[in-house]
A = this chain, B = another copy of it.
Amino acid sequence: MKIESGIKQFKKPLYLESGRILEPYQIAYSTYGELNDDLSNAILITHALTGSHKPVKEDGCKIFNNGWWDSLIGDGKPIDTRKYFVIATNVIGSIFGSTSPTSPIDQYSHNRLYRYKFPVVTIKDMVKAQHTFLQSIGIRKVKAIIGGSMGGMQSLQFGVDYPHFAEHIIAMAATSATSPWTIAFNKITQEAIKRDPKFNNGEYNIHDIRENGLDGLAIGRMAGHISFLSHSSMYKKFGRNYLKDDGFYDINGRFQVDSYLEYNGDKFSKLFDPLSYLYLTKAINIFDLSNGYNSLANALEKFEAKLTLISYTGDLLFLPEESQEIYNTMRSIGKNNQVEYYEIESDYGHDAFLVEFEKFDWIIKKVLE
């Protein structure tokens, strides 16, 4: 499989939904496989909150969770790179190469970073930037746009904003508008970050954070892990096992699940960025496909692509009912033949779309055939 990676610079302004302008900006990307002669075999992969433009595992790549969809993308895999030209970009606001809050505020003074001066970007803005990127490499149509969670939001937004761009849209573990429960969930991490003295109102020492992490981000990530796993998967993984070296009656003694959360929280807090986390969760929280329309139905009327919705029964962040609502709305406006809905029984929580591939990869295969 041919793999290419890079960072593309854009000098023209990106006009944001907020009215603000990002100029210049850059987008980190990867491509897998080869574009065919009639440019008809491209597939765009959109990533989730902590994902990146590296869905395929690369040895030596230091990007957090790189290879997050390695089971799905590659030669002979469900998204077959012998057949398709797969593109992934890092969203605006994320930390892995695209313009973000820790990017220089202008090209000439690399010491002045955006930090809190970075504009709020929305899912719509992320999609616009990706659309611009794709056009810049000559792609005017894609076979499919596929993503889960925040990636699913992007794929849905693509369908509304650029109705003729994609043949198929696949949105997994997503919603048409983030629920107050999930907003509340994100709030824990946001507050843990903002109240951490080392965060210093956004003026933190970046080298220190990358080296030692930020407690606030670690705590938030621990909260995240609770949504990734279900009750039963936690029973299977950890049970009530206690760490052998820790005293049972020691106030700081730990269960295995405690130690797992600590390890993952601390690791993550060195590999992600607190400001990026704030900006991306903000984008997730204010995401509402009907923004700018009278209703969800009104927004979905613009949809021309075929839409496939996949939800997971154990998902607490984006409930199956939320995908069903999109499905029902599509049908209510006469788009019955344009939409399919699958509910996957899963023991995992929200993370099922990153774990239980065998349960849904056949749907992707079916859609692409």
Contacts and interface: CB of A to CB of B under 8 A. Distances in A.
A15 interface: no
Specify which of A215, A256, A316 lies most central, judged by the most chain B CB atoms within 10 Å of its CB: A215
A235 interface: yes
A41 B141 CA distance: 78
A268 B143 CA distance: 52
B195 A219 contact: yes
A197 B197 contact: yes
B257 A226 contact: no
A143 to B, nearest CB: 34
Interface stretch (A54-62, A73-81, A186-194, A297-305): A186-194
Contact of A219 (B19, B120, B191, B257): B191
Interface in A263-281: 265, 278-279
A120 B248 CA distance: 9
A188 B223 contact: yes
A156 B316 CA distance: 30
A194 to B, nearest CB: 8
Interface in A216-253: 218-219, 222-223, 225-226, 229-231, 234-235, 237-240, 248-252
A134 interface: no
Interface of A is mostly: helix
B251 A279 contact: yes
A285 B255 contact: yes
Highest count of chain B CB atoms <10 Å: which of A184, A222, A248, A316: A184
13 contacts: A18-B249, A118-B251, A181-B226, A183-B255, A184-B234, A187-B222, A191-B222, A194-B252, A195-B215, A195-B218, A195-B219, A231-B319, A240-B288
Interface in A196-228: 197, 215, 218-219, 222-223, 225-226
A249 B285 contact: no
Contacts of A239: 180
Contact of A180 (B238, B279, B288): B238
Given A17-B249, A116-B251, A240-B288, A261 B219 contact: no
Contacts of A342: none
Given A184-B229, A194-B252, 12 more contacts: A19-B249, A180-B240, A181-B234, A183-B240, A184-B226, A184-B234, A188-B222, A191-B218, A191-B219, A192-B192, A240-B288, A251-B279
Closest CB pairs A-B (n = 10)? A18-B249, A195-B215, A180-B234, A180-B257, A120-B249, A181-B231, A180-B238, A181-B234, A188-B223, A192-B219
A177 interface: yes
Interface string A167-184: 000000000011111011
Contacts of A288: 240
Contact of A120 (B119, B251, B279): B251
Contacts of A219: 188, 191-192, 195, 219
Contact of A258 (B119, B187, B319): B187
Nearest to A229: B181
Nearest to A222: B188
B282 A251 contact: yes
Nearest to A285: B255
Contact of A179 (B184, B192, B225, B234): B234
A18 B192 CA distance: 33
